Amino acid sequence: MCKKIAVVVRDERQSEALRMSAGITMMDDEIEMFFLDVTLMDDEKTAMNLEIAEEMELPFYTNVKENTEMTYMDTTALHEKLREYDHIVVY
């Protein structure tokens, strides 16, 4: 049975969260990523894992306007959206 899983990124473990999210797509679950109150790190590991996650067509949401490669939503809208998920994994 397909589960809806939200991965919430709130600290510097962004590369790990991206890698893990891309990996669990192999289970045929619906994965979406949320970058809350953080800007996307500009380093080689994060860029590589972001590219893989984008190839897996993972959706990205953020409440930080500087994250131009993600869908911007205000904090209230993000919190409402998170209520749709079966599981929430926080990094």
The whole-angstrom distance between residue 76's C-alpha and the CA centroid of its chain comes to 17
**pTM of the predicted model as reported, rounded to 2 decimal places:** 0.91
Does the pLDDT of residue 89 top 90, yes or no? yes
In this structure, how many other beta carbons lie within 10 angstroms of the beta carbon of residue 54?
A: 13
What is the model's pLDDT at position 23? 85
Q: Tell me what the pLDDT averaged over the chain comes to.
A: 94
What is the CA angle 91-89-14, rounded to 5? 30
pLDDT digits (tens, 9 = 90+) for 45-81: 999 999 999 999 999 999 999 999 999 999 999 999 9
Phi, psi angles (nearest 5°) of residue 33: -115, 140
What is the model's pLDDT at position 71? 98
66 contact partners, CB below 8 Å, separation of at least 6: 39
Classified as helix, coil or strand, 47 is helix
